Amino acid sequence: MKVHRTTFKKMSLKNIIITKATAVLTVIFTVFSSMSVFAQEVGATASAAPAKAVDMEPIYKSTLFYVLLFLLLCLFIGIIGKALKVYELTRETQGKPEGINWNKINGVLFAAFLVVGLYGVYWEYTVHGNMLLPEAASEHGKRIDEMFNITLIITTIVFIVTHIILFTFAYIYKSTGNRKAYYYPHNNALERIWTVIPALVLTVLVLMGFLTWRSIFHKVQDPNNQPLSIEVTSSQFQWDFRYPGADGVIGVKNYKKITSINALGIDFNDKNSLDDQLADELVIPVNKPVRFVLTSKDVLHSFYMPHFRVQLNTVPGMTSYFEFTPTITSDEMKIKTNDPSFKYILLCAKICGTNHYNMQKTVRVVSQEEYNAWVVKQTTYLTNDLRKAFNLPIPIEPVAVPATADTTATKITEQTNQLAFKK
């Protein structure tokens, strides 16, 4: 029987050593492989734009430094543990009482952890709390912020109270050898209290979330203030914006119509498409509802405008909608945030591929007059080449021809560039 147990012990020790070695090797392998992938990508980008060559040596060096530092720390802790063990065993063989009161040390560590931890929470709330987004720049955003704040207040109170109780009890009631633990297996009243109170609080929070969600996604439209529709097409790695033109309606599109000159696959057999406009930046009028029609050409992307508290996935093969009303213009926000370079931004919030981080666009919220002046200057999507492709009559407009031809040229170069980049 004894022999059996020793073999079992040896086996498990061996297993532990093997597992630890495997774990360390896995970490090192992962770090180096991800670093080399990163290096390749940086190399690819660097070759695309030779001016920006990135020196990888400092990155390798610093990673190696931290890996070695970590291994050294493990070794150091191991040595201290062994030294203490030897000390304890020596005292035991000499018949002396235990030299180190571990219960006391653990109790003090618990108390210290409480103080340091609570200070950490305070630091986090003040230092990083200052980096929070400015006030919501949309109608529904205020409701989302309210909900966020209520949840944060409740969870903070619960967090602080429970942690004070937990660590104080661990300190006060540490084992001293004079006390015996009180056997207290069950109390129905306590069970009821700590089941009912969280259930009630969570029900209120979930209901609030549900009602807020409904108010955002099931809006009753005001006939006197109809929303402006803007179509957003996401692809790796860009956003394309289509404005509805004078008729206020965005035309139909169909992926089967995608060609080298019709990157979005717009169907010009639909009359509503004829006056649709392309825009390079997102400009929206203040205090007017904007209805974003969201689609994706390749993978999942996420339409994310943090200042308006807007985020929704764009999904290939389906259309999703997000309607909201911006309430603060870009200029007003510059004054409110005391930052003359303030810009609203649109980001992709899905890790959609290697150049995901490049999917950033500026959003401008302007007055209705400024918007009207801006929108008439935007080019129409329909070019003469597209007119030919869809058998539409080509108007004789000497001024418009070079401008439209130019847009087509840029579109095609853009696409060729992207193809070259993918290779």
Q: Which residues bind Cu ion (CB under 5 A)?
A: 301, 348, 352, 359
User: Across 339-399, where does the E strand assignment appear?
Assistant: 344-348, 360-366
SS3 category, 309:
coil
Q: Taking a C-beta distance cutoff of 8 angstroms, is the pair 46, 54 a contact?
A: yes
Beta pairing partners, 291: 229, 323
Between residues 262 and 296, which has the closer beta carbon with respect to Cu ion?
296
Q: How many Å apart are CA 255 and CA 257, to the nearest integer?
A: 5
216's enclosing H/E stretch is helix 188-217
The full 3-state SS of 63-110, as one line of letters, equals: HHHHHHHHHHHHHHHHHHHHHHHHHHHHHHHCCCCCCCCHHHHHHHHH
| Closest separation in Å from C-beta 199 to Cu ion | 39
| Closest separation in Å from C-beta 352 to Cu ion | 3
Angle of the 57-93 helix axis to the 2-48 helix axis, nearest 10: 160
Between residues 19 and 415, which has the closer beta carbon with respect to Cu ion?
415
Between residues 359 and 365, which has the closer beta carbon with respect to Cu ion?
359
User: Across 317-388, where does the E strand assignment appear?
Assistant: 320-324, 344-348, 360-366
Q: Taking a C-beta distance cutoff of 8 angstroms, is the pair 324, 216 a contact?
A: yes
| Closest separation in Å from C-beta 417 to Cu ion | 18
Between residues 346 and 352, which has the closer beta carbon with respect to Cu ion?
352
| Closest separation in Å from C-beta 232 to Cu ion | 12
Q: How many Å apart are CA 179 and CA 183, to the nearest integer?
A: 12
Between residues 302 and 329, which has the closer beta carbon with respect to Cu ion?
302
| Closest separation in Å from C-beta 292 to Cu ion | 15
| Closest separation in Å from C-beta 350 to Cu ion | 5
Long-range interactions of 201-207: CB distance < 8 A, separation 24+: 201/154, 205/147, 205/150, 205/151, 205/154
Between residues 75 and 318, which has the closer beta carbon with respect to Cu ion?
318
User: Across 121-237, where does the E strand assignment appear?
Assistant: 228-235
| Closest separation in Å from C-beta 359 to Cu ion | 5
Between residues 301 and 309, which has the closer beta carbon with respect to Cu ion?
301
